[in-house]
Amino acid sequence: MRCADRKQGRTARIRAAAHTRPGGKPPARKQGVQTRGERWKFSAWSGTGLELEVEVEEADSELGCTKLPRKRTQKVQKGRNRPMKKNSKNETMKSKRETKKVAELEAGWTRLDEREANTLVIGIDLGDRTSAYCVRTLGQQIVKEATVATTATAMREAFQGLRRQRVVIETGTHSRWVAQLLELMGHEVIVANARKLKLISENNQKSDKVDARLLSELGCMNVEWLHPVYQRSQAAHSDLLLARARQALVDARTALINHVRGSVKSFGSRVVKCASERFVEVARGALPEALKPALSGVLATLEELNEQIYGYDCQIEHLCHTKYREAAKCLLQVNGVGPVTTLTFVLTIENKDRFEQSRDVGPYLGLIPKKRQSGQRDPQLGISKEGDEMLRKLLVNCAHHILGAKGQDSDLRRWGLELVRAVERKGKKGARKLAAAAVARKLAVLLHRLWVTGAAYEPLRNRGAQQAPAA
């Protein structure tokens, strides 16, 4: 008999009732029903409440046909835990974006370029690669939060089409060019002093997003809380980089000189004290034979650094006598003040009319003592060290020259030496350093006053005023 004919064998179908217990068996077969080649279905309730329909089909083997493979299918008809179709990653991200857009529309957000001028405050937390920004209304309502690449092109695309708004950023590497770019777009830019914003720098939950929110929130309140920082022009910044590059070479030369001195001391020798420009010549005569292979390259590098520093000195002196001649003419009158200090002072302040009085220059450069008074306790602390660090160091070096053996007689020198003696009488240490910081503050005030008035410098003006009534 052919297999096609054998497949027409008798089949038994048995369906269990809907209330069959889990794991129950189908009812017993009737007599006369073939025991092989049968196909049956039954439905049962699983432990999860699913109604399952199981179909089992077996081939007829009683008539001598080879047993065919069984076919078992399981199909979910009803139930709460119906299997879900897996979505791809792109479909999931697309769904999230659509959901976010709907939420924004429901919240009533409007496009930023449709906002009126001076109605928004934008806080930008500048990063090296990307920057986070937060947009708020004057009523503290957040309108938008996003990130933008820290490039000029990305900044223009993000903020070019807006009407004039207030933008708040922190001081940092990118703050100068970002502020100038945003000002060219017509925005009001406030560069906050990062050292004063302890609310941001000492936040336990600090992040780029949180920092941008805090900047925008502070911009909505009181701008004075941000302690805005003056941003110098592009030309002044470029010229000031000459002095900064020279200072970097001077620091490298000092480190190499200290390395040579320490290496020579380890062999029981010593390089005598001398000027930095003459150190290579002096060190070669005091260098032990065992150290020449190790330190010959260092001495050659020091010679190259001296040449580079001399080149920067020539460029700075040329700027003082050409581009900044009027200001340099006033400042170079003071003994101990050279072209490097003069150019750095002029370019750091840039606008001499920024200060209402010359006495404000000292606190601006961090040359006044810090204050921690509370109740009956008022300790004496060091200087605040705010403002430009390089200019403050240059002024202190000038003060040491004025107080030193080569300093010319002047009212400033006499006042500084009297301060040294007063501190020493109290038995305190570091009298010379304390007096140098105080003289540097007075020197900064003097230089600014000479720059503003253009008057001739009189080193012994106070002595002449005291002797006039006696005459």
Q: Do 206 and 135 fall within a single domain?
A: yes
Alpha helices in 194-271 (DSSP H): 198-201, 208-220, 234-265
| Angstrom distance (rounded) from CA 151 to CA 414 | 53
Q: Which of 267, 284, 315 is the last residue of a domain?
A: 315
Per-residue pLDDT tens over the stretch 69-115: 554 444 444 445 555 555 566 677 767 666 665 555 444 345 777 78
For position 32, what pLDDT does the model report? Answer: 45
For position 103, what pLDDT does the model report? Answer: 58
Cβ within 8 Å of residue 169, ≥6 positions away: 123, 124, 125, 126, 175, 178, 179, 189, 190, 191, 192, 215
Long-range pairs for 154-163: beta carbons < 8 A, 24 or more residues apart: 155/181, 155/182, 156/181, 156/185, 158/133, 159/122, 159/185, 159/187, 160/185, 161/112, 161/113, 162/112, 162/113, 162/115, 162/120, 162/187, 163/113, 163/115, 163/116, 163/117
For position 333, what pLDDT does the model report? Answer: 93
Identity of the amino acid at 169: I
Burial 290-307 (b: 16+ CB within 10 A, else e): ebeeebeebbeebeebbe
Burial 254-265 (b: 16+ CB within 10 A, else e): eebbeebbebbe
For position 201, what pLDDT does the model report? Answer: 86
Q: Do 410 and 346 fall within a single domain?
A: yes
Per-residue pLDDT tens over the stretch 132-166: 999 999 988 999 999 999 999 999 999 988 999 99
| Angstrom distance (rounded) from CA 357 to CA 320 | 25
Q: Do 338 and 448 fall within a single domain?
A: yes
User: Which residues are bridge partners to 169 per DSSP?
Assistant: 191
What does the block give as tokens for 157? 């695309």
Give Cα separations from 335 to 332, 346, 411 (angstroms).
7, 17, 12
Q: Which of 267, 292, 315 is the last residue of a domain?
A: 315
| Angstrom distance (rounded) from CA 456 to CA 189 | 39
Neighbour tally for 367: CB within 10 Å: 27
Residue 258 domain boundaries = 248-315
For position 110, what pLDDT does the model report? Answer: 53
3-class state of residue 240 by DSSP: helix
**The Cα angle at residue 93 between residues 90 and 96, in degrees rounded to 5:** 150
Q: Do 272 and 330 fall within a single domain?
A: no
pLDDT higher than threshold 80 for residue 422: yes
For position 96, what pLDDT does the model report? Answer: 67
| Angstrom distance (rounded) from CA 337 to CA 341 | 6
As a whole-number percent, the residues of the chain with pLDDT over 70 amount to 75
Q: Is residue 416 part of a domain?
A: yes
For position 198, what pLDDT does the model report? Answer: 87
* 304 phi and psi angles, rounded to 5 deg: -65, -40
DSSP string of 259-276?
A: HHHHHHHTTT--PPP--G
Q: Do 311 and 329 fall within a single domain?
A: no
DSSP 8-state code for residue 37: S
For position 116, what pLDDT does the model report? Answer: 86
For residues 207-213, give the mean pLDDT.
94
pLDDT higher than threshold 50 for residue 175: yes
For residues 443-457, give the mean pLDDT.
95
Q: Is residue 290 part of a domain?
A: yes
For position 380, what pLDDT does the model report? Answer: 85
pLDDT higher than threshold 60 for residue 21: no
Number of domains forming the structure of the chain: 4
Q: Which residue has the tokens 């003060």?
A: 399
Q: Is residue 214 part of a domain?
A: yes
What does the block give as tokens for 314? 């020539």
DSSP 8-state code for residue 129: S
For position 195, what pLDDT does the model report? Answer: 87
Length of the chain in terms of residues written: 471
For residues 191-205, give the mean pLDDT.
89
Q: Is residue 241 part of a domain?
A: no
For position 42, what pLDDT does the model report? Answer: 42
The chain-wide mean pLDDT, for the chain, equals 82
Per-residue pLDDT tens over the stretch 227-279: 999 888 899 999 999 999 999 999 999 999 999 999 999 998 899 999 999 99
Identity of the amino acid at 468: A
Q: Do 210 and 119 fall within a single domain?
A: yes
pLDDT bucket at 31, cuts 50 / 70 / 90: very low
Q: Do 366 and 443 fall within a single domain?
A: yes
Q: Do 328 and 447 fall within a single domain?
A: yes
Q: Is residue 406 part of a domain?
A: yes
Q: What share of the chain is helix, strand, coil (3-state, %, to 5)?
A: 50, 10, 40
Q: Is residue 243 part of a domain?
A: no
pLDDT higher than threshold 80 for residue 63: no
Q: Judge contact between 160 and 205, C-beta under 8 A.
A: no
Q: Do 55 and 121 fall within a single domain?
A: no
For position 86, what pLDDT does the model report? Answer: 54
What crossing angle do the helices spanning 389-403 and 431-453 adopt, rounded to 10°? 110
User: Which residues are bridge partners to 124 per DSSP?
Assistant: 133
pLDDT higher than threshold 60 for residue 176: yes
Q: Judge contact between 122 and 165, C-beta under 8 A.
A: yes
Q: Do 66 and 164 fall within a single domain?
A: no
pLDDT higher than threshold 80 for residue 3: no
Give Cα separations from 118 to 142, 164, 192, 283 (angstroms).
15, 6, 19, 65
Q: Do 368 and 282 fall within a single domain?
A: no
For position 65, what pLDDT does the model report? Answer: 46
Identity of the amino acid at 347: L
| Angstrom distance (rounded) from CA 83 to CA 328 | 83
Q: Which residue has the tokens 């034979």?
A: 289
pLDDT bucket at 46, cuts 50 / 70 / 90: very low
Estimate to the nearest angstrom the gap between the alpha carbon of 236 and the chain centroid.
23
Residue 117: closest CA among 55, 166, 173, 168: 166
Q: What is the pTM of this model?
A: 0.72
CATH number of the domain bearing residue 211: 3.30.420.40
Q: Which of 196, 226, 256 is the last residue of a domain?
A: 226
* 36 phi and psi angles, rounded to 5 deg: -125, 160
pLDDT-wise least confident of 75-84, 178-187, 460-469: 75-84
Q: Do 404 and 423 fall within a single domain?
A: yes
Q: Is residue 436 part of a domain?
A: yes
H or E stretch covering 448: helix 431-453
Per-residue pLDDT tens over the stretch 365-386: 999 999 888 998 988 888 999 8
Q: Is residue 423 part of a domain?
A: yes
pLDDT bucket at 465, cuts 50 / 70 / 90: low
Q: Which residue did the predictor score with more confidence, 27 or 99?
A: 99
| Angstrom distance (rounded) from CA 209 to CA 211 | 5
pLDDT bucket at 13, cuts 50 / 70 / 90: very low
